Structures are given as C-alpha cells and as structure tokens.
C-alpha cells in the first residue's frame, strides 16, 4: 500500500558535489551542492542560489571546479555545506585542505577530493522557477588511486558520497550491479 508523503524533493541518489571558485583576489571558496547534474557531454548544471559566495565568485571570475566528495572527506564536505563563505571569511582555511590552480581554467582544484571537473562559466539561467549555473567542462582530472588500469574512474575505488534527501543522510556508491546499455537488451527482442 502506498502512502502520501506530501511535497518533497524525492529524488535519490543525489550527488555530493564540491563547487570551488576564486574571488577577484584568488581567495578560495568551496560549497557543498547536491542539486547538480550533467546536462550535455561537456556541460554541468548546478542548481544553486545566486546569493551563495561561491555563485558570486563564479559570476566574477567566470570559472569553477566541481569535485566529487568521497567517504574519506565526508566531514569537510559536510562542513562546506554547513558554513557560508558570506559569513565565514576563513571557511576554506579552517579545513587545512589544499588548493592548486587548474592549468585549464581560473579556478582552484581541491587536492583532497579525488575527481574534479574544471569548468568555464557557460551561462547562468534565471527564470521564475529556476536558477542554474551552467559550466562547460574543459578538463577532468583524477587522483590515480581511483583509476582503473586503463585510466577510467572506478566507482568502487572512488567511494563517492551520495545524499539522501529523505532523511538527510550520506551514503556511499560503489557496487556495480549491471552494465548500462546491456542490462535491458533482452527486452529489445
């Protein structure tokens, strides 16, 4: 029997994304964003508010990185979602984490997070119902420890965090249960 739960953002899983950008003085800010997704082969859309410090930085500098948070760095990933750069000047510095400038865009790569998409600002979409920052992915870099022998990211090694909007929990993705574009082939006959 089904039960009505009311209006809820009932999508699971959601990614745990670390969005990083410099301000005009190259000061690093990072935020935790679960509402983001790939929207083309070379684009990512982040559904974040205009008033975030990171959003303001992206608008000013026209570049950002998006990293995948992992189990090992869950505490800092969560902190980046709790603390706001608008009120906490030393938000990034408090973590003791390290940022290096991307060789491809004017944005910081947070070294502790294993996979980063380096993006140029493509556009900001603002309508009555939507505010989205769209980035053009220029490069993806990954720590070798999460790669397979043939150089692809291995989800089992990545231990990517996923967010549960039902109970505000973090989970880890990783178990492969099938092959995409193959699991449903029998139904094509």
**In residues, how long is the chain?**
189
**Confidence band for 98, pLDDT divided at 50, 70 and 90:** very high
Superfamily of chain region 14-177: Electron Transport, Fmn-binding Protein; Chain A (2.30.110.10)
More confident residue, 127 or 175: 127
d(Cα 108, Cα 22) in Å, to the nearest integer? 7
Question: Cβ of 97: how many Cβ atoms within 10 Å?
Answer: 19
Residue 137: per-residue pLDDT: 98
Of 34 and 175, more confident = 34
Mean pLDDT calculated for residue range 135-147: 98
Rounded to whole angstroms, how far apart are CA atoms 39 and 1?
A: 35
Q: What is the pLDDT of residues 163-181, one digit of tens each?
A: 999 999 999 987 888 999 9
Q: How far apart are the C-alpha atoms of 98 and 107, rounded to whole Å?
A: 13
The pTM assigned to this predicted structure is 0.95
pLDDT value at 1 more than 90 = yes
Q: What is the mean pLDDT of residues 5-32?
A: 95
Predicted local confidence at residue 173, as pLDDT = 84
d(CA 17, CA 113): 10
The single residue listed with the structure tokens 């190259």 is 26
Q: Residue 187, by phi and psi: left (phi above 0), alpha (psi -120 to 50) or beta?
A: alpha
pLDDT at 80 over 80: yes
- Of the candidates 145, 151, 174, which has an alpha carbon nearest to the alpha carbon of residue 161? 174
């Amino acid at each position: 029997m089904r039960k009505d739960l009311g209006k809820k953002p009932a999508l699971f899983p959601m990614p745990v994304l670390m969005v990083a950008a410099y301000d005009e003085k190259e000061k690093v800010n990072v935020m935790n964003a679960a509402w983001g997704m790939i929207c083309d082969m070379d684009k990512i859309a982040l559904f974040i508010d205009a008033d975030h410090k990171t959003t303001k930085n992206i608008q000013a500098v026209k570049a950002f990185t998006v990293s995948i948070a992992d189990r090992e760095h869950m505490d800092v990933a969560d902190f980046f979602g709790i603390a706001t750069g608008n009120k906490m000047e030393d938000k990034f510095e408090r973590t003791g984490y390290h940022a290096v400038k991307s060789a491809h865009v004017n944005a910081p790569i947070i070294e502790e997070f294993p996979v980063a998409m380096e993006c140029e600002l493509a556009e900001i979409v603002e309508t009555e119902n939507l505010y989205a920052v769209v980035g053009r992915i220029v490069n993806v870099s990954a720590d070798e420890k999460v790669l397979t022998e043939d150089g692809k990211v291995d989800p089992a090694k990545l231990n990517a965090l996923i967010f549960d909007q039902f109970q505000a929990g973090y989970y880890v993705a990783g178990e492969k249960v099938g092959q995409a574009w193959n699991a449903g082939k029998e139904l094509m006959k």
